[in-house]
Chain A
Amino acid sequence: MSAIRTVELSKTYSSPEGKVPAVEGLTLEVASGEFFGLLGPNGAGKSTTVGMLTTLVRPSAGRAEVAGIDVSHRPVQVRRNIGVASQADSLDRKLSVADNLEFRGRFLGMTRRVARRRAEALLETFSLVERRNARAHELSGGQVKRLIIARALMHRPQVLFLDEPTAGIDPQTRHNLWDALRALHADGQTILLTTHHMDEAEALCQRAAIIDNGRLLACDTVPTLLTLAGAKTIVTVTYDRSVPSDLEGLRGHPDVSRVDVNGSQVKAHTHDAESLLGDLITAGVNAGLRVRHVMTLRPSLESVFLTLTGREYRE
């Protein structure tokens, strides 16, 4: 059974400025047990998609099923089967850290005793034991993120939704969180994670969908995405002056699939970065140019994004 299935899922918000198409015709399938990434820049429609899958946003068109249950027709049943760590801080400010967990469990039908025991275990797991009596607003950003994830795990959700779980936390905490998420996944947890950090999706996800402006650009396993047509190493060389547009016949170079010349900058896509780099430096010297800066971008989801949209991936 697939954990998530969407067919032509769309959402158009009506705002005072007019209609905002946030998600358009999204068709996706996530298998049970999969760690799936939803990637895209700010405003791509990630949170809107998660909102529709978690019953908090009403789809304008299309269908979606989570754990085999239709989100529009049986939202309450869907809520019983999901855990949601939202992007915005949705902690209950009036309750302590421990009570935030306890009440989530009780809302889901646990008895007080079971909810408390479960909360204790999660406080332990997420290193929040010393903060158990703090109010939510007294927590650091990283602690807030951890508590939100812990709360999403109060019951064993069939599908765990994590909307940018590592936004705004330091690299060390982030790596610890990654380890925790990997452990969860190893334990069989189905996870849908949204992120605008390409490296995060590369590090964690088995499959990923790349969306931009509400539309699906690609959806595949991460290795396949990385070898997508044109997803090669991008070599960028910056010279000290403008370069002639056909720097010594670079366009005819057998290893180069694409060249963009922009002022003093040459950007070439290739399979063989080392030899091309040598050629570019030599060509520069022959044309009387000096190399100021060299950058190589190995095939990554970032270069995939660049290949797919022709735009730099902005963070």
Chain B
Amino acid sequence: MTIATGIRLTDTEDTLRSSAPHTFVALLARDLRVLRQDAASFAVRIGLQPVILLFLFTYVLPKIGTGSALSANGSSATFSTILVPGLVASSVLMAGLMAVSQPLMIELSYTNEIEDRLLAPLPTWMFGLQKIVSGALQALIGGAIVFPIAIVLHAPGQAPLLQVESWPLLAIVVLFGSLFSASLGLLAGTVVDPRKTGVLLTVLVMPATLLGCVFYPWSALAPLRWLQILTLFNPLAYFSEGLRASLTSQVPHLPTGSFLTALIVGSAATAAFSVFAFTRKVIS
């Protein structure tokens, strides 16, 4: 190996347009480049779970005669109609959570990779914010993958009945749902010891996704008052109910004011706190 010694450093054409927005966009471009490189595994990771759940609920269980138990009580809607918003919400939540937390845990612990991007000329809190925006984008892409799957896969004659009452409402719910999930990802990636991710997944994430009003509307929980109240502490519940209100308003759902408040205030508070924790953590 030889290193050429005639290193020319001066390059008069290099006028740097370094500004915070430019750096922010370049960091996003980096994340998208990485995402494109493992597009296939991303799609499988996001799409497989809903496919399996749909297969289970709309094909296997009805065939073996357990399906009727799953039809939502208090509503004439088909189970598919109930399931679509729930599945999309839980997939988006998982996509955003994982998109931020998984790489961050690795960058913070086993390697020193984070240093590369920390040295980018951007205030550290904006770098945290960039991670949230990037995670939210990936969550949206995840939602775009799952949505068609959820519509197409259903039991014969049980097509989900979707109708968008208000596009702005749908946009706001999806936007804040994605931001919420990415903020939770930044928080988890920052505060959770990477050796404990298994525990986190089984103790918190798994129950939260199963019990987040994915398979039933919140109102159907009325006979289980304690669970109904407990569910109000689950961000996913507001996201599922918000999508239900936007896509299948004929199914009972939480009032618009309450899920919007929960999603907007919740994501803003989580984003602020996670960015604060992240900044504290990376600059020692």
Across the interface, which residues of B come within 8 angstroms of A86, CB to CB? 112, 115
- B14 A118 Cβ-Cβ under 8 A: yes
- B121 A76 Cβ-Cβ under 8 A: yes
- A91 B113 Cβ-Cβ under 8 A: yes
| Given A107-B27, A127-B1, A127-B4: A187 in contact with B117 (beta carbons within 8 A) | no
Please give the distance in Å from B31's CB to the nearest CB on chain A. Answer: 9
| Given A58-B283, A107-B26: A173 in contact with B1 (beta carbons within 8 A) | yes
Across the interface, which residues of B come within 8 angstroms of A103, CB to CB? 26, 29-30, 33
Q: Give the complex CA separation of A255 and B30 in angstroms.
A: 65
**Most chain A beta carbons < 10 A, residue from B19, B115, B118, B124:** B115
Please give the distance in Å from A278's CB to the nearest CB on chain B. Answer: 44
- Please tell me which stretch of B5-13, B57-65, B231-239 contacts chain A, meaning at least 4 of its Cβ atoms lie within 8 angstroms of it: B5-13
Closest to A189 in B: B9
Q: Is B155 an interface residue (CB 8 A)?
A: no
The one of A75, A82, A108, A127 in contact with B3, judged by C-beta atoms closer than 8 angstroms, is A127
The one of A56, A92, A124, A142 in contact with B283, judged by C-beta atoms closer than 8 angstroms, is A56
Across the interface, which residues of B come within 8 angstroms of A91, CB to CB? 113, 116
- A110 B283 Cβ-Cβ under 8 A: no
Across the interface, which residues of A come within 8 angstroms of B118, CB to CB? 56
- Please tell me which stretch of A174-182, A233-241, A246-254 contacts chain B, meaning at least 4 of its Cβ atoms lie within 8 angstroms of it: A174-182
Across the interface, which residues of B come within 8 angstroms of A104, CB to CB? 116
Q: Give the complex CA separation of A173 and B103 in angstroms.
A: 33
Across the interface, which residues of A come within 8 angstroms of B9, CB to CB? 153, 156, 184, 187-189
- B3 A126 Cβ-Cβ under 8 A: yes
Q: Is A269 an interface residue (CB 8 A)?
A: no
Across the interface, which residues of A come within 8 angstroms of B4, CB to CB? 124-127, 180
Closest to A169 in B: B1
The one of B10, B23, B103 in contact with A156, judged by C-beta atoms closer than 8 angstroms, is B10
- A94 B34 Cβ-Cβ under 8 A: yes
Q: Is B16 an interface residue (CB 8 A)?
A: yes
**Most chain B beta carbons < 10 A, residue from A111, A142, A177:** A111
Across the interface, which residues of B come within 8 angstroms of A100, CB to CB? 116
For the complex, count residues of A whose C-beta is within 8 A of B: 58
Closest to A109 in B: B18
Closest to A11 in B: B284
Across the interface, which residues of A come within 8 angstroms of B2, CB to CB? 127, 176
Closest to B13 in A: A114
- B116 A90 Cβ-Cβ under 8 A: yes
Q: Give the complex CA separation of A208 and B205 in angstroms.
A: 53
Q: Is B123 an interface residue (CB 8 A)?
A: yes
Q: Is B175 an interface residue (CB 8 A)?
A: no
Q: Give the complex CA separation of A254 and B7 in angstroms.
A: 51
Q: Is B66 an interface residue (CB 8 A)?
A: no
- B11 A118 Cβ-Cβ under 8 A: yes
Across the interface, which residues of B come within 8 angstroms of A139, CB to CB? none
- B23 A110 Cβ-Cβ under 8 A: no
The one of A90, A114, A182, A188 in contact with B113, judged by C-beta atoms closer than 8 angstroms, is A90
- B5 A180 Cβ-Cβ under 8 A: yes
Q: Is A306 an interface residue (CB 8 A)?
A: no
| Given A172-B1, A173-B1, A183-B6: A90 in contact with B112 (beta carbons within 8 A) | yes
Closest to B17 in A: A109
Q: Give the complex CA separation of A94 and B99 in angstroms.
A: 14
Closest to A48 in B: B284
Closest to B37 in A: A94
Q: Give the complex CA separation of A88 and B91 in angstroms.
A: 36
Q: A73-106, CB under 8 A of B: which get 1 and which 0?
A: 0011101101010101111111100011001101
| Given A109-B19, A118-B14, A187-B9: A80 in contact with B121 (beta carbons within 8 A) | yes
Q: Is B120 an interface residue (CB 8 A)?
A: yes
The one of A13, A107, A118 in contact with B121, judged by C-beta atoms closer than 8 angstroms, is A107
The one of A108, A177, A179 in contact with B18, judged by C-beta atoms closer than 8 angstroms, is A108
Q: Is A57 an interface residue (CB 8 A)?
A: yes
Across the interface, which residues of B come within 8 angstroms of A184, CB to CB? 7, 9
Q: Give the complex CA separation of A51 and B115 in angstroms.
A: 10
Q: Is A294 an interface residue (CB 8 A)?
A: no
- B3 A76 Cβ-Cβ under 8 A: no
Closest to B34 in A: A94
Q: Is A121 an interface residue (CB 8 A)?
A: yes
The one of B6, B8, B14, B33 in contact with A155, judged by C-beta atoms closer than 8 angstroms, is B14
Q: Give the complex CA separation of A91 and B2 in angstroms.
A: 21
Q: Is A146 an interface residue (CB 8 A)?
A: yes
- A84 B119 Cβ-Cβ under 8 A: yes
| Given A92-B113, A93-B113, A104-B116: A125 in contact with B16 (beta carbons within 8 A) | no
Closest to A140 in B: B1
Q: Give the complex CA separation of A146 and B2 in angstroms.
A: 11
Closest to A14 in B: B284
Q: Is B111 an interface residue (CB 8 A)?
A: yes
Q: Give the complex CA separation of A176 and B7 in angstroms.
A: 13
A sample of 22 inter-chain contacts (CB < 8 A) reads: A55-B283, A56-B282, A75-B123, A75-B124, A80-B18, A86-B115, A88-B111, A88-B115, A90-B111, A90-B113, A95-B33, A103-B26, A106-B26, A107-B30, A107-B121, A110-B16, A110-B17, A114-B14, A125-B3, A155-B16, A176-B1, A177-B3
Q: B-contacting residues of A (Cβ < 8 Å)?
A: 13, 51, 54-58, 75-77, 79-80, 82, 84, 86, 88-95, 99-100, 103-104, 106-111, 114, 118, 121, 124-127, 142, 146, 151, 153, 155-156, 172-173, 176-177, 179-180, 182-184, 187-189
